[in-house]
Structure 1
Amino acid sequence: MDTWPRTSAVGQLTMTLPVAVIALAIPFGFVVDDLPQAVRFAPFVVSVGLFGLPHGAVDHLMPLRLGDASLKRSLTVVSVVYAILGGLYLVVWAVSPAVALLAFIGMTWFHWGQGDAFALRAFGEAAHIRTRSDRWASLVVRGGLPMLVPLLGQPEGYRRVVNGIIALFDPAATAALAPLFRLDTRLALGVGFGVFTLSSLLWTARHVWGGDISAAGIAWDAVEIGVLWVFFWLVPPVFAVGLYFAIWHSVRHIGRLAIVDPAARDALDAGEWPTVLWRFYRDAAPLTVASLALFAGLYVWVPTDGSLNALLAIYLVGIAVLTLPHVAVVTWMDRQQYGDSGITDRQ
């Protein structure tokens, strides 16, 4: 797998910029709840057109750019994957929204973890993530930070979002997730995840202690993990997860898309960022518009009161339906870029 140094243009955009934005946003945790609802929801609103929603709208070109498929076959295969997986998942939402919501949390945990695991290797000089076990440890920690830590630090805000989504389909089903918010449950999850976070860093540090790689990569890894722990603990979930989605996860995936597009890659080497972004938005435009049509269909299908909370819930259900096939495509990308083992080494 090709790598770019953190000091390169793509490294600065995908690694340094997200950390800086998230770190600067931490103080908002003390004032966000006092701001108008529109401000708290702003990151999700921005994600519709900026980086969030479009970042997954280039999936239809991945078999063309990473495999040997023609454009027609690439479009056809990915369209079928989206239609089947997205359609089946939508049925689950209608039949059992609590199960669908838990699946969404687990799926996002995996996907955001796999996105960071790749970015660390490709752009973050993370030579300490070199085996399959290293990658899985990093994936679990990185995905758990945005999905689990808000539950630990901001349980009431987390509950409002979860219950709001489930209530779109079956208000009574919200009771099924009540045990998740109990103090003993959250305490067990917090201790377990905290121990795992430290253990994962110690586990991957064995490569540094072996003397064959620099400690810089793991130091940056630890800094990012620390910043995200504090950010998701202090900042209310709607603002925190929305900002992370738009500025961290999506930006890092867009960097990944750029390095597999030959023309964008040449533009990266020449420092021509406008060309890179123009090609990304050009490629993402058709499926971004199609996604908006999905959201409109959900709005018509599921009764709501038209409030911002209800609109956010509709948006998140739509994102969930799109995420399942997107995860399938990105997992295939991992296999193409890492190799059949999913990682360079098999240990």
Structure 2
Amino acid sequence: MRPLPQGGRAAGRPLRWAGRVSVAAVLCVLAVQCVRPALWDDHASTVFAAGLAAGVPHGAVDHLVPAWCRAHAADRGRQALLLLAYAGAAAAAFACALWAPAPALCAFLALSALHFGRGETHANALRAGGTRPPGPALCALAYGAVVTVLPLARHPHAVRGLVAALTPGAPWLLAAPVTAAATALTAAAAVTACALLLRHRRHHDAAELLLLAVLFWTVHPLVAFAAYFAAWHSVRHIARLLLADPANRPALCAGHLGPPLRRFHRRAALPTAVVLAASVAAARLGEPHRHALAAAGVAVLAALTLPHHLVVALLDRHEARGPAPGDRAARPAGTSTRA
């Protein structure tokens, strides 16, 4: 696992900031659920669409990540080719979803579980100064199942309309035997992972896994996923991107988070606008029912998941290899690489 850039705790500030934001957001959603649960039920589709839109920017600079991993800037031609390849992969995934919606939805759920689970374990490892959690595969499975399988299995009635809009021929996904088995397997994975984390004194990681399980068990699944995607997964991934961008290192080492955030948002603005426009266009082409916008958002998100996952896998390998030789040479003697 790649140690944090030079600067110790100052360089790890994005991770601490992201952790506080995500936990606070989930606690707010749970507080509203306790005080006025009908609010989420009445506005679930709107909140879901808003959450998907708010989470889009975290993947908007994927075309820049390969250059960051090579520790040198890519020219505009290379960036344009990467964008074309990215768009082509997304278009191919979208076409597959139109051609075979039921298998595509199953593949999307499996890939999403893998992506979210690995994302949480990698973010937790970086926050721990590069120390991987015990049983990383089990922890990734638990996180991934909690945020992708549990909302469908625990609240099948609440997502039936959305699933029907996406895959009219796959009602078996929400059948009672399937949801019961999925709930049991998810609970077993989460409990086992929590026990393992607690045994190795990873109390923070265990508490966050438990918090997410409570969120997806108690709150309307569309609202729960919106909160997770926009204020948890996306925020933590942006923190990883801020650390990965070599241009941010001087500011982060000096303890300044504002300039890296502004740089990220400038770069993410145009790709985000394109994705949101595509989602609105897909919704207008769909049937005029109350799930149209949410279904279109899921379809576009599903198409982007494959190329985004490949880019994140590259980032994972980059972090696992450790600092580049130039980083090691630039680090003053005696400076700790742990956060």
- Class of the TM-score when normalised by the shorter of the 2 chains: 0.7 to 0.9
| C-alpha distance in 1 between matches for 2:252 and 2:193 | 33
Work out whether 1:61 is the aligned partner of 2:64: yes
| C-alpha distance in 1 between matches for 2:194 and 2:42 | 37
| C-alpha distance in 1 between matches for 2:32 and 2:187 | 24
Answer yes or no: is the 8 Å Cα contact 2:150–2:182 preserved in 1. Answer: no
Answer yes or no: is the 8 Å Cα contact 1:105–1:147 preserved in 2. Answer: yes
- Report the Cα offset of residue 278 of structure 1: 0.8
| C-alpha distance in 2 between matches for 1:104 and 1:196 | 20
What letter corresponds to residue 190 of structure 1 in structure 2?
A: T
| C-alpha distance in 1 between matches for 2:76 and 2:136 | 33
Quick one: which of 171, 175, 188 aligns to 1:182? 175
> Do the aligned partners of residues 155 and 7 (structure 1) sit closer, same or farther apart at CA in structure 2, a change above 3 Å counting?
farther
**Which residue in 2 is equivalent to 1:79?**
83
| C-alpha distance in 2 between matches for 1:195 and 1:288 | 37
**Which residue in 1 is equivalent to 2:116?**
112
Q: Does the residue aligned with 2:133 lie in a helix, a strand or coil?
A: coil
The one-character-per-residue Cα deviations of 1:317-343 (angstroms, maximum 9, x if unpaired) are 111111211111111111222139xxx
> Do the aligned partners of residues 73 and 197 (structure 1) sit closer, same or farther apart at CA in structure 2, a change above 3 Å counting?
farther
Quick one: which of 146, 166, 184 aligns to 1:191? 184
Work out whether 1:294 is the aligned partner of 2:287: no
What letter corresponds to residue 182 of structure 1 in structure 2?
A: A
| C-alpha distance in 1 between matches for 2:248 and 2:290 | 37
| C-alpha distance in 1 between matches for 2:31 and 2:11 | 27
Work out whether 1:226 is the aligned partner of 2:210: yes
Q: Does the residue aligned with 2:120 lie in a helix, a strand or coil?
A: helix
**Which residue in 2 is equivalent to 1:211?**
none
Aligned length: 316
What letter corresponds to residue 24 of structure 2 in structure 1?
A: A
**Which residue in 2 is equivalent to 1:98?**
102
- Report the Cα offset of residue 125 of structure 1: 5.2
> Do the aligned partners of residues 195 and 276 (structure 1) sit closer, same or farther apart at CA in structure 2, a change above 3 Å counting?
same
Work out whether 1:159 is the aligned partner of 2:156: no
**Which residue in 2 is equivalent to 1:18?**
22
| C-alpha distance in 2 between matches for 1:36 and 1:201 | 30
Q: TM-score, normalised by structure 2?
A: 0.83
What letter corresponds to residue 277 of structure 1 in structure 2?
A: L
Alignment of 1:1-347 (within 5 A): 1-3=2-4, 9-29=13-33, 31-34=36-39, 37-38=42-43, 41-42=46-47, 44-45=49-50, 47-48=52-53, 50=54, 52-67=55-70, 70-72=74-76, 74-124=78-128, 127=131, 129=133, 134-166=135-167, 171=168, 173=169, 176=170, 178-203=171-196, 208=200, 215=201, 218-300=202-284, 302-305=285-288, 307-339=289-321
> Do the aligned partners of residues 259 and 8 (structure 1) sit closer, same or farther apart at CA in structure 2, a change above 3 Å counting?
closer
| C-alpha distance in 1 between matches for 2:163 and 2:157 | 10
> Do the aligned partners of residues 155 and 23 (structure 1) sit closer, same or farther apart at CA in structure 2, a change above 3 Å counting?
same
Q: Does the residue aligned with 2:115 lie in a helix, a strand or coil?
A: helix
Q: Which runs of 5+ in 2 are unaligned?
A: 323-339
- Report the Cα offset of residue 258 of structure 1: 0.3
Which deviates further from its counterpart, 3-12 or 15-24?
3-12
- Report the Cα offset of residue 226 of structure 1: 1.0
Q: TM-score, normalised by structure 1?
A: 0.82
- Report the Cα offset of residue 95 of structure 1: 1.0
Answer yes or no: is the 8 Å Cα contact 1:161–1:238 preserved in 2. Answer: no
| C-alpha distance in 2 between matches for 1:142 and 1:86 | 25
> Do the aligned partners of residues 42 and 188 (structure 1) sit closer, same or farther apart at CA in structure 2, a change above 3 Å counting?
closer
